[in-house]
Chains A and B, each alone.
Chain A
């Protein structure tokens, strides 16, 4: 899940207020560090490493034109400040604004090609355009198209994670197996993780999420689908692409076989120190404790109406929302977030 959530946002703000006095004491703070109440101005260069980034302006709730299209193939989502979802529909080639539980989207806009990844940052909606290989920017107020990244900068933009502090976008390019960093205007800046084997590389990545509280990127990876090499996993990196941790999908194996693992990891979310993973084949959301990497529990399943789970989000009200692709629905688990 490429979203900033209330909790992590709150943690970030708290960290900021703790950081500023510390910098003042250290004699590092000048007028430029006077706390701002929120801004859409470009942040100072390198602020994410110096801690000098101003707090981001709050994302306005999207306002998209009404539509009477319905979901057909929901693949990725981004949560809005009001706990609704922006849902990318690859078949409709639209981004919908969805009230979970309602069959009729509140609004939406057409993308200019087959979309996949999505993120909301400020007044912009970022959409990965698989057809054109671009990162497209739309206006969250109306859905109008603003601009696209340079054609060819991406092969298969499978997921987008937005950092509202640094205004950076971490785009998972499934075609090259890389995490590419873009600025908020859609300019490619650098590549921080590349394809390869090993925990610090991506082999068959499918989705990306951000944990702004821990300043981490989480990537789902099918691994070697032949089963000969590394298995499916969630790989965790810092914002510079340095490997931090891995949650393996091997599960527990004994003489009678294995259980408790995963092999088709898709969309992710980070919330209150836990990692939420949608698994396409299990049709479940698997919940892991970030600090211990241990499975806490799982929710969902086909018997609860989920088919081909492709993404998960957690609302500020702790509801867990799952994109069920084959049923073309958003399945809600009220209060499903692990306390």
Chain B
């Protein structure tokens, strides 16, 4: 491990004296400009040339010269140096101009060299600069703005920002490209700190505004919901989001090369596993579908390769049960993309942010107060309508005008009685009830076989399907009674006037067993909730079905097919073939006899509170 310092051992005194003499002459002849010049008293020979008594040959090596520059101007250089008795702050310029268009790395010495003394350029910019593919070019840099500044826009392409450029979109050395912001200080946007990338370095520096076809990204982090809790991180604005947050998701290995690449965050550095987007995932289903692999690589039990708080602000990654998600109806199909999309081809908008909760798409559309339906039931119903892409049209029921009980009577005098679950603002604002689609459904785990959660009220200790009411009732009936027992699930509450406690009415009885416990439903089983009600919006009071069906699924014989309306507490609101809604079963329609065909509820004789 032992080695002497190499290349720095001997000084050639003759050469040294010669160079010092030449430099001193140049300094004495140079005009007294205020800017830093080569070999000026602001940047003496000994800043670089006396190091370790090293010879000048050492500085012809790019690595050595770069290290010499960065030993002061790099990230750990001294804060200040004493320049002839005056302390001056050392500029930090550790980034090298080495963008994606460069085929070979550049270094400090490609631009800065004391050969500039002949041209009197500022900041040691060479006056004669060997370019990569345009031969040696003259460079004039004697002002930061105006004539002879970085790229002054005149017909002589001798600005330090243009003499090399042949494939940039602006300021090429032959004038064939645009000349944006000519004669201004290029480094106001293309800072040295960023390696002269546009807008001043870092991801947020550029992506706060449009970059070619890319929309402004940083403002999206100011939306209602977003990845990176920059506020909790103590940042004044999303402009301060560090690159490390961005690169948590974004694979920058091919930055500015026409695609957006997203890591498999469980495989750090494995660019081969990255998702590569070549189109707009907000509108193209195939592109949106690609994103799911990226999302699920983080939204799992181990977050980003074990880091469950990968962003500034320390928010914990919500973890998905990935096997359950893989079986879910919303997992990517040919009709929807899965995680990502504009709300029609997928649910969640850009990870940057959304005006809706849960980063729902489209991210730029804020929900309309006070209903906020665009981020609640309206979001679901955009797909679950007659035009799809969901196969179930739930919107049709909810799109009907809310039917409120017009003739409250008897024990059914509840003025909040209507024809639906109150997921809509108009219903909630009158009844006081709060329920949303997600009270019963889980968009991440619902399957065609079980399109609802397993326990809508996990707080009551009763789990549907375990015979809480009666072992003979099916799961759905138990499911309904999990909330229709006066206890509600998270973020749900009952109406201002209490609903009938169905569970206590049913529990321990056999009222749902027409014909007695041994002769249920005419011998075919118990009456389940869904025999009479539908779960969404029916247009009939009590959310009752319009078409009453027999246990085998066929409409009861009395139904001509159009279905019943039940719009008042008078159960004879509309009769079909001589039968009203109740006695379509409790009559000869079902072969039963001895039933009263009159107004069942209005009479006060029957309702859910009574066993029969």
The residues of A with any CB-CB pair to B shorter than 8 Å are 65-70, 73, 75-76, 90-94, 103-104, 107, 110, 112, 114, 116, 144, 155-156, 158, 174-175, 177, 203-207, 222, 224-229, 249, 251, 253, 256-264, 266-267, 280-284, 297-304, 307-308, 310-311, 320, 325-326, 333, 335-336
Known: A225-B47, A226-B82, A259-B10. A325 touches B75 (CB 8 A): yes
The interface centre, meaning the residue of A67, A92, A301, A335 with most chain B CB atoms within 10 A of its CB, is A67
The complex places the Cα of A227 from the Cα of B43 at a distance, in Å, of 12
Known: A66-B307, A227-B46. A259 touches B3 (CB 8 A): no
Known: A110-B242, A280-B67, A308-B67. A263 touches B76 (CB 8 A): no
Instruction: Please tell me if the beta carbons of B312 and A110 are within 8 angstroms of each other in the complex.
Output: yes
Indicate whether B74 reaches chain A with its CB closer than 8 angstroms. Answer: yes
Instruction: Please tell me if the beta carbons of A261 and B53 are within 8 angstroms of each other in the complex.
Output: yes
Indicate whether B104 reaches chain A with its CB closer than 8 angstroms. Answer: no
Known: A263-B50, A280-B70, A281-B71. A227 touches B79 (CB 8 A): no
Indicate whether B345 reaches chain A with its CB closer than 8 angstroms. Answer: no
Q: B43-83 CB contact bits vs A (8 Å, 1 = yes)? A: 01011001111010000000110111011101111111111
Indicate whether B12 reaches chain A with its CB closer than 8 angstroms. Answer: yes
**B1-55 CB contacts (< 8 Å) to partner A:** 1-6, 8-13, 44, 46-47, 50-53, 55
A-B contact pairs, 11 of them (CB 8 A): A68-B268, A73-B74, A94-B244, A110-B245, A206-B76, A259-B4, A261-B52, A281-B71, A298-B4, A301-B6, A336-B1
Instruction: Please tell me if the beta carbons of A333 and B269 are within 8 angstroms of each other in the complex.
Output: no
Instruction: Please tell me if the beta carbons of B81 and A282 are within 8 angstroms of each other in the complex.
Output: no
Known: A110-B242, A204-B81, A259-B52. A326 touches B67 (CB 8 A): yes
Known: A70-B269, A227-B50. A256 touches B84 (CB 8 A): no
Which one of A114, A257, A264, A284 lies within 8 Å of B11 (CB-CB)? A257
The interface centre, meaning the residue of B67, B83, B84 with most chain A CB atoms within 10 A of its CB, is B67
Instruction: Please tell me if the beta carbons of B305 and A302 are within 8 angstroms of each other in the complex.
Output: no
Q: Which residues of A contact B243 (CB under 8 A)?
A: 92
The interface centre, meaning the residue of B46, B70, B309 with most chain A CB atoms within 10 A of its CB, is B70
Q: Which residues of A contact B244 (CB under 8 A)?
A: 67, 69, 92-94, 110
Q: Which residues of A contact B83 (CB under 8 A)?
A: 226
- 8 more contacts with CB within 8 A, not counting A107-B307, A158-B79, A177-B80, are A66-B306, A227-B46, A257-B10, A258-B53, A282-B8, A307-B63, A310-B76, A320-B1
Instruction: Please tell me if the beta carbons of A301 and B70 are within 8 angstroms of each other in the complex.
Output: no
If over half of B's interface residues share one DSSP class (helix, strand or loop), that class is named, otherwise mixed; here it is: loop
Which one of B51, B71, B76, B310 lies within 8 Å of A75 (CB-CB)? B76
Q: Which residues of B contact A310 (CB under 8 A)?
A: 74-76
Question: Taking the nearest CB of chain B, how far is it from the CB of A327, in angstroms?
Answer: 10
The complex places the Cα of A107 from the Cα of B263 at a distance, in Å, of 18
Instruction: Please tell me if the beta carbons of B13 and A256 are within 8 angstroms of each other in the complex.
Output: yes
Q: Which residues of A contact B577 (CB under 8 A)?
A: none
Instruction: Please tell me if the beta carbons of A175 and B67 are within 8 angstroms of each other in the complex.
Output: no
Question: Taking the nearest CB of chain B, how far is it from the CB of A332, in angstroms?
Answer: 10
The complex places the Cα of A262 from the Cα of B68 at a distance, in Å, of 12
Q: B586-597 CB contact bits vs A (8 Å, 1 = yes)? A: 000000000000
The complex places the Cα of A213 from the Cα of B14 at a distance, in Å, of 47
Q: Which residue of B has the minimal Cβ distance to A280?
A: B71
The interface centre, meaning the residue of B74, B79, B263 with most chain A CB atoms within 10 A of its CB, is B79
Q: B365-399 CB contact bits vs A (8 Å, 1 = yes)? A: 00000000000000000000000000000000000
Known: A68-B269, A299-B2, A325-B74. A73 touches B94 (CB 8 A): yes
The residues of B with any CB-CB pair to A shorter than 8 Å are 1-6, 8-13, 44, 46-47, 50-53, 55, 63-64, 66-68, 70-72, 74-84, 94, 233-234, 242-245, 247-248, 263, 265, 268-269, 304-307, 309-310, 312, 314
Q: Which residues of B contact A205 (CB under 8 A)?
A: 78
Instruction: Please tell me if the beta carbons of A259 and B8 are within 8 angstroms of each other in the complex.
Output: yes
Known: A110-B312, A262-B52. A308 touches B71 (CB 8 A): yes
Instruction: Please tell me if the beta carbons of A204 and B74 are within 8 angstroms of each other in the complex.
Output: no
Which one of B12, B44, B53, B78 lies within 8 Å of A222 (CB-CB)? B78
Instruction: Please tell me if the beta carbons of B305 and A68 are within 8 angstroms of each other in the complex.
Output: yes
Q: Which residues of A contact B68 (CB under 8 A)?
A: 264, 281
The complex places the Cα of A255 from the Cα of B4 at a distance, in Å, of 20
Instruction: Please tell me if the beta carbons of B307 and A67 are within 8 angstroms of each other in the complex.
Output: yes
Q: Which residues of A contact B51 (CB under 8 A)?
A: 263-264, 281
The complex places the Cα of A261 from the Cα of B54 at a distance, in Å, of 9
Q: Which residue of B has the minimal Cβ distance to A309?
A: B67
Question: Taking the nearest CB of chain B, how far is it from the CB of A321, in angstroms?
Answer: 12
Instruction: Please tell me if the beta carbons of A302 and B10 are within 8 angstroms of each other in the complex.
Output: no
Instruction: Please tell me if the beta carbons of B263 and A68 are within 8 angstroms of each other in the complex.
Output: yes
Known: A256-B13, A326-B70. A158 touches B76 (CB 8 A): yes
The complex places the Cα of A115 from the Cα of B346 at a distance, in Å, of 41
The complex places the Cα of A158 from the Cα of B92 at a distance, in Å, of 14
Instruction: Please tell me if the beta carbons of B52 and A116 are within 8 angstroms of each other in the complex.
Output: no
Which one of B11, B52, B242 lies within 8 Å of A281 (CB-CB)? B52
Instruction: Please tell me if the beta carbons of B79 and A174 are within 8 angstroms of each other in the complex.
Output: yes
Instruction: Please tell me if the beta carbons of A333 and B63 are within 8 angstroms of each other in the complex.
Output: no
Q: Which residues of B contact A266 (CB under 8 A)?
A: 71, 76
Q: Which residue of B has the minimal Cβ distance to A177?
A: B80
Known: A69-B244, A204-B81. A91 touches B75 (CB 8 A): yes
Task: Give the 7 A-B residue pairs with the shortest CB-CB distance, closest first.
Answer: A258-B53, A68-B268, A257-B11, A227-B46, A90-B75, A156-B79, A280-B71
Q: Which residues of A contact B77 (CB under 8 A)?
A: 206
Q: Which residue of B has the minimal Cβ distance to A108?
A: B244
Question: Taking the nearest CB of chain B, how far is it from the CB of A251, in angstroms?
Answer: 6
The complex places the Cα of A193 from the Cα of B4 at a distance, in Å, of 33
Instruction: Please tell me if the beta carbons of A104 and B307 are within 8 angstroms of each other in the complex.
Output: no
The complex places the Cα of A70 from the Cα of B243 at a distance, in Å, of 12
Question: Taking the nearest CB of chain A, how far is it from the CB of B245, in angstroms?
Answer: 8
Known: A281-B51, A281-B52, A298-B5. A65 touches B71 (CB 8 A): no
Known: A68-B268, A94-B244. A264 touches B71 (CB 8 A): yes
Instruction: Please tell me if the beta carbons of B72 and A225 are within 8 angstroms of each other in the complex.
Output: yes
Q: Which residues of A contact B66 (CB under 8 A)?
A: 307-308, 326
Question: Taking the nearest CB of chain A, how far is it from the CB of B342, in angstroms?
Answer: 29
Known: A257-B10, A261-B53, A325-B76. A225 touches B304 (CB 8 A): no
The complex places the Cα of A263 from the Cα of B248 at a distance, in Å, of 39
The complex places the Cα of A67 from the Cα of B80 at a distance, in Å, of 34
Question: Taking the nearest CB of chain A, how far is it from the CB of B326, in angstroms?
Answer: 24
Q: Which residue of B has the minimal Cβ distance to A250?
A: B53
Instruction: Please tell me if the beta carbons of A225 and B82 are within 8 angstroms of each other in the complex.
Output: yes
Q: Which residues of B contact A229 (CB under 8 A)?
A: 82
Instruction: Please tell me if the beta carbons of A259 and B71 are within 8 angstroms of each other in the complex.
Output: no
Q: Which residues of B contact A260 (CB under 8 A)?
A: 5
Instruction: Please tell me if the beta carbons of B82 and A155 are within 8 angstroms of each other in the complex.
Output: no
Q: Which residues of A contact B55 (CB under 8 A)?
A: 257
Instruction: Please tell me if the beta carbons of B242 and A93 are within 8 angstroms of each other in the complex.
Output: yes
Question: Taking the nearest CB of chain B, how far is it from the CB of A265, in angstroms?
Answer: 10
The interface centre, meaning the residue of B44, B68, B77 with most chain A CB atoms within 10 A of its CB, is B77
The complex places the Cα of A92 from the Cα of B248 at a distance, in Å, of 12
Which one of B3, B44, B63, B71 lies within 8 Å of A226 (CB-CB)? B44
Q: Which residues of A contact B234 (CB under 8 A)?
A: 112
Q: Which residue of B has the minimal Cβ distance to A333?
A: B1
Instruction: Please tell me if the beta carbons of B64 and A116 are within 8 angstroms of each other in the complex.
Output: no
The complex places the Cα of A258 from the Cα of B67 at a distance, in Å, of 20
The complex places the Cα of A256 from the Cα of B52 at a distance, in Å, of 13
Q: Which residues of B contact A311 (CB under 8 A)?
A: 76
Q: Which residues of B contact A76 (CB under 8 A)?
A: 76
Question: Taking the nearest CB of chain B, how far is it from the CB of A124, in angstroms?
Answer: 18
Q: Which residues of A contact B71 (CB under 8 A)?
A: 264, 266, 280-281, 308
Question: Taking the nearest CB of chain B, how far is it from the CB of A152, in angstroms?
Answer: 15
Q: Which residues of B contact A155 (CB under 8 A)?
A: 79
Q: Which residues of B contact A206 (CB under 8 A)?
A: 76-78
The interface centre, meaning the residue of B13, B72, B76 with most chain A CB atoms within 10 A of its CB, is B76
The complex places the Cα of A20 from the Cα of B242 at a distance, in Å, of 51
Q: Which residue of A has the minimal Cβ distance to B245?
A: A110
Q: Which residues of B contact A104 (CB under 8 A)?
A: 268-269
